[in-house]
Structure 1
Amino acid sequence: MPVLLTTTWAGAQIGMRANYCVDACRTLGYALGELGILTELRAAEVIIRDENTGGMVECAPLSPRWNGKELDGHCILTLPDQGRYIDATLEQFPGMAELRGGPAVGRCGGMLDPRTGKFSAGHSVVRIPEGGNIALKRGPLMVLYTLSSDADTSAIVAHPNVQQGEPLFRRAAMNLISIVLGYVRETSYLPVALRDTPFPRLHALMDAIGDAPISRTDGGDALFTIDGRAMRLDEIALPAGTAPAVAPA
């Protein structure tokens, strides 16, 4: 489901600025959180090395800065409980769009804690430490993420631009999930595949919407009509005992 949500979000951004990394992280964070999946936005330095030329360029600094409403920096979304990460706006960086690899959704693999020098296997990592690295290879390009300090990450999340946008991010997230679930039930294989995922809240949402008609309001909200009432996804009652939604960090 993280892959499906991320690629759908990225596809909707065609023709728009690619550097909406904060928008992507917050929207996907709320979307995955609605499915009960824990996420955390993390600021990160981004360095890309071209193996063909040996050239190396810093695409985002380790310490991000706000210039008015523009962020000079980059952030990715991590899924601590799964040892995975998402970079929905990877293609903003030089050479990436030409490779047509789309957004990055991957596993963190083994991690070297720069503070202790201790190596941990990917499955045992709960949260990547400050200064920890994630590497990604696309064609001849090697992308190295170095996670910034928690203080630098907080400077992004706590900024008024982000705080004031939280209701919009959450609204966009509900619409994103609704569109994806509406698409899923039109296929023969995705419902079966998603039932095999370890996300009980997702299964409960799929049961709740069933074949309910989906419509869009003039304002762009996706609504499911259940028992004669048109509702947003987060307004649909789920059975008692269903795992709760998780707020993004």
Structure 2
Amino acid sequence: MPESRRRKPQTPTGARPTPPARPRRPGRILGAVPESRLEAILARAPADRLPIWLLPHLYRQYVTGAQANHCIDAALTLGAAFNLLGIPARPWPVRLLIEPDAGTSATLYGDNPRWEEDVFRGHCVLWLPQHAHFIDVTLEQFEETVGDDPLVGRAAYTLHGTQLGDQPTLDWANASGTALVRRETCSLAYTAGTEAEAERMLAAPLVHAHAAAHHRSGTNLASTAIVLFAADPETLARARAGPYPRLRTLLDALAHAPSDVDDDGNWRFLWPGPTGNSRPMLLDDIPL
């Protein structure tokens, strides 16, 4: 296996666009995240924000040109990546109220979330309960936010109209809180759906049918993040310093391990076998 590619931070040729490959429907297309954005995150993001900021932007790089309204696919793939890095994450349905600054009326998206055959009529984000953050990587699909970057929001929120501020001990998702976020041209209000709505969203046959594909794409996304963290000593030190024990363990074990990506887009790291001979292994197969 070739030596690990210690390239300057850039989008590696690892993960393929997120499955499943469904018939294309009319809708907006996800735009590219500038390469300079990834480089800035790797160079300057604080240790506790580094993986939380990098993974959504890295995901968007991989799926540039894909349909923008596949929020469940995005959340399931990102969730698999975060969970592999030891950062608990779960897709969660939301109601999103967008109020433009131009004085036009506000629009509510995602009300009454439900499946209609293989189409999800609603919107979802990825919720990181231990870190009080949520991620909306398909925000660009809405008319008011075309061209917007992935949103990584902290749950500074209201509950039943009462301003709560930053209270990470409260569970924004299970409390059906409303997180308020400012963007350049509008205000966003994300109201978490109920546990029952989240269970119905994830119980759909289509979700189960593509579970393995989402897991594999998430594994490649997490593997790419490890390779990028290890590409620069200062970035590696910051990644190790974050409050993520599992990520630190992975970096300690794999930062200097040779790695490569095959023709199917699967990253493998060279790992010592039981007899002492090293063999290429997928991230989720490595016994750590």
- For residues 37 and 93 of structure 1, the distance between their equivalents in structure 2, rounded to whole angstroms, comes to 28
In structure 1, the partner of 2:226 is 181
1:129-152 deviations in Å (ceiling 9; x for gaps): 353211211112111112222222
In structure 1, which of residues 80, 85, 103 is the aligned counterpart of residue 129 of structure 2? 80
Name the amino acid aligned to 1:46: L
- For residues 194 and 142 of structure 2, the distance between their equivalents in structure 1, rounded to whole angstroms, comes to 22
Name the amino acid aligned to 1:187: D
Name the amino acid aligned to 1:21: C
The answer as to whether partners of 1:48 and 1:58 remain within 8 angstroms in 2 is yes
In structure 2, the partner of 1:7 is 57
- For residues 128 and 161 of structure 1, the distance between their equivalents in structure 2, rounded to whole angstroms, comes to 23
In structure 2, the partner of 1:200 is 245
In structure 2, the partner of 1:104 is 151
Indicate the larger mover: 6-15 or 104-113: 104-113
- For residues 60 and 131 of structure 1, the distance between their equivalents in structure 2, rounded to whole angstroms, comes to 14
Using the TM superposition, give the Cα deviation of residue 218 of structure 1 relative to its aligned residue in structure 2, in angstroms: 2.6
Using the TM superposition, give the Cα deviation of residue 210 of structure 1 relative to its aligned residue in structure 2, in angstroms: 2.7
The answer as to whether partners of 2:100 and 2:144 remain within 8 angstroms in 1 is no
- For residues 212 and 131 of structure 1, the distance between their equivalents in structure 2, rounded to whole angstroms, comes to 43
Classify the secondary structure of the residue corresponding to 1:123: coil
Taking only the aligned residue pairs, the percentage that are identical comes to: 29
- For residues 123 and 160 of structure 2, the distance between their equivalents in structure 1, rounded to whole angstroms, comes to 21
User: CA RMSD of the aligned region, Å?
Assistant: 1.9
In structure 1, the partner of 2:14 is none
In structure 2, the partner of 1:70 is 119
Classify the secondary structure of the residue corresponding to 1:189: helix
Using the TM superposition, give the Cα deviation of residue 53 of structure 1 relative to its aligned residue in structure 2, in angstroms: 2.1
In structure 2, which of residues 219, 236, 249 is the aligned counterpart of residue 191 of structure 1? 236
In structure 2, the partner of 1:237 is 287
Name the amino acid aligned to 1:88: V
Classify the secondary structure of the residue corresponding to 2:174: coil
The answer as to whether partners of 2:85 and 2:222 remain within 8 angstroms in 1 is no
In structure 2, which of residues 207, 221, 228 is the aligned counterpart of residue 162 of structure 1? 207
- For residues 192 and 287 of structure 2, the distance between their equivalents in structure 1, rounded to whole angstroms, comes to 38
- For residues 185 and 118 of structure 1, the distance between their equivalents in structure 2, rounded to whole angstroms, comes to 41
Using the TM superposition, give the Cα deviation of residue 128 of structure 1 relative to its aligned residue in structure 2, in angstroms: 3.1
Using the TM superposition, give the Cα deviation of residue 85 of structure 1 relative to its aligned residue in structure 2, in angstroms: 0.8
Task: Work out whether 1:91 is the aligned partner of 2:140.
Answer: yes
1:78-126 deviations in Å (ceiling 9; x for gaps): 111111111111111113233x4x1011210144257xx6947423313
How many residues align? The count is: 233
- For residues 215 and 127 of structure 1, the distance between their equivalents in structure 2, rounded to whole angstroms, comes to 39
1:4-23 deviations in Å (ceiling 9; x for gaps): 11110112111110112111
- For residues 79 and 187 of structure 1, the distance between their equivalents in structure 2, rounded to whole angstroms, comes to 27
Q: 1:111 to 1:81 in 2, by over 3 A?
A: farther
In structure 2, the partner of 1:224 is 269
- For residues 167 and 249 of structure 2, the distance between their equivalents in structure 1, rounded to whole angstroms, comes to 29
- For residues 156 and 224 of structure 2, the distance between their equivalents in structure 1, rounded to whole angstroms, comes to 31
Once the two structures are superposed, the pairs formed by residues 114-125 of structure 1 within 5 Å of their partners are 119=164, 121-125=166-170
Using the TM superposition, give the Cα deviation of residue 162 of structure 1 relative to its aligned residue in structure 2, in angstroms: 0.6
The answer as to whether partners of 2:173 and 2:193 remain within 8 angstroms in 1 is no
Using the TM superposition, give the Cα deviation of residue 60 of structure 1 relative to its aligned residue in structure 2, in angstroms: 2.3
* Unpaired stretches in structure 1, ≥5 consecutive residues: 239-249
